[in-house]
Amino acid sequence: MTLTASAPTRARRGPLRGVTGRLATMAGPVMAAIAVQSLANLVLHAALGRTLPPSDYGALGAVLAAMTLVAVPLTALQTSAARLVASAGLTGRTGRAAMARALRLLAPVVLLLVLLAAPVAGFLHLGSWWDAALLAPTVLVSGLLATARGVLLGTGRSGTVAGSYLVATLVRLGLALLLAVPLGVTGALLGTALGEAAALMHAGRAAWPASPGPTHRLSIGDVAGTTAVVTGLFAFTTIDLFLARHFLPGATSGAYVAAATIGKTILALPAAAMSVAYPRLVASWTSRSGLRPALRSSLVVVGLPAMAGAILVCLLPGLVLSVLYGAAFGAGTQDLVRALALIAGSSALVSVLAHAALARGSRTALLPWAAAALQVVAISSWHSTAMSVALASAASLVLALVLLGLTEVHHWRAADRADAAGAKPAGTLHRA
């Protein structure tokens, strides 16, 4: 006997496939742009490594690593702006107000970076005060750019956002190489800052259209809550790397960091898809329409590239290790690479569920903090081998997936059945 789906089942599958297809289409340009950016970064670093003396290249790497310390707050600005526009709509006043609020929030950070430029230059052994001082304008421009991208993603302008990534990549690739020859590290950093500025010009004009309308402002409380959530996700996916470096002996910790870095790289494309999926989650929760399809499609569109990348690494761990790090890292670490790749791929699902909780304004979005705390306790207790550290990380992953999965599926299913007139509107974080 051949089993066929009933008419209601087919009706349910049709809208789900449609929602997933639309979300995948929207996420595609951003994911492609991020892939190009990642490849261009590898090319740029390879070229700069051959252009600059080893000491200068080390200084450049130190400054670029320092820039990653502010990446989490910038992500929070983008996510908060996307949430605002997805729930309230975009007008010229809203776009300008979002950028103005971001400027006010970034101003003290930029001032602090200027004041700390001399100590930072001394600590990192930089050749010039300017090499550290350039952090300040770069952070300012990057923060405004992140806000503009969030505004655009809130209205589904993923093509414009993708274009901003490509503009930043092309300008940085050209100017950093051109300016590094006469100016060294300073020139390479100027190229990075100018690339971000060019991208801001591309995205900024589209972020405040001429259309009139009411002004909706970024809430400082919402930015703070979003920062707490994205910081928790960062800690959840990164804390094992630092603990492994602390507890494991030198060669073993190096192998773990190499394997973990491969795993973290897998998350680049899912993160791009998540930036597009999140406004759809917010809009679905705000309007109370298509809640379950929105959550399911987000899990599919973000989860598929993450698991595809993890499976690819699992199939070819030795090749990936040798291409990236050379033969010295390949011996005896392939199982570790497989384990950390699967953990990283599954972590993308935690990100979707945490953002789903954030979309409905729930404090359960902070659950990755609890999972990160479990990692600290477990790894501090069991760290005899690199694999034991990985297993401790896997245990925290299972906890986060189970708790967030049960909570979010329950709330989104219940809300989908509820009368929209009696639904609580999305807002700042509240008790679940």
- Domains of the chain by residue range: 27-216, 219-432
Higher per-residue confidence, 292 vs 111: 111
Round to whole Å and give the CA distance between 126 and 63.
9
Coil/strand/helix, residue 362: strand
**Local structure of residue 267 (DSSP, 8 states):** T
Coil/strand/helix, residue 91: coil
**How much is the average pLDDT of 324-330?**
61
- What does the pLDDT look like over 82-124, one tens digit per residue? 888 887 776 667 777 888 888 888 999 889 988 988 887 887 6
Q: Residue 57 — φ and ψ, nearest 5°? A: -65, -35
- What does the pLDDT look like over 173-219, one tens digit per residue? 889 888 888 888 888 888 989 999 999 999 887 777 655 555 666 77
- Please determine, for residue 377, whether its predicted confidence score (pLDDT) is greater than 90: yes
Q: Which of 69-73, 74-78, 305-309, 424-428 has the lowest mean pLDDT?
A: 424-428
Q: pLDDT > 90: what percent of the chain?
A: 25
Give the residue among 31, 291, 47, 292 at the shortest CA–CA distance from 175: 47
Round to whole Å and give the CA distance between 44 and 87.
39
- Band of pLDDT at residue 383, cut at 50, 70 and 90: confident
Terminal-to-terminal C-alpha distance of the chain: 46
**How much is the average pLDDT of 404-421?**
79
Q: How many Å is the maximal CA-CA distance in the chain?
A: 78
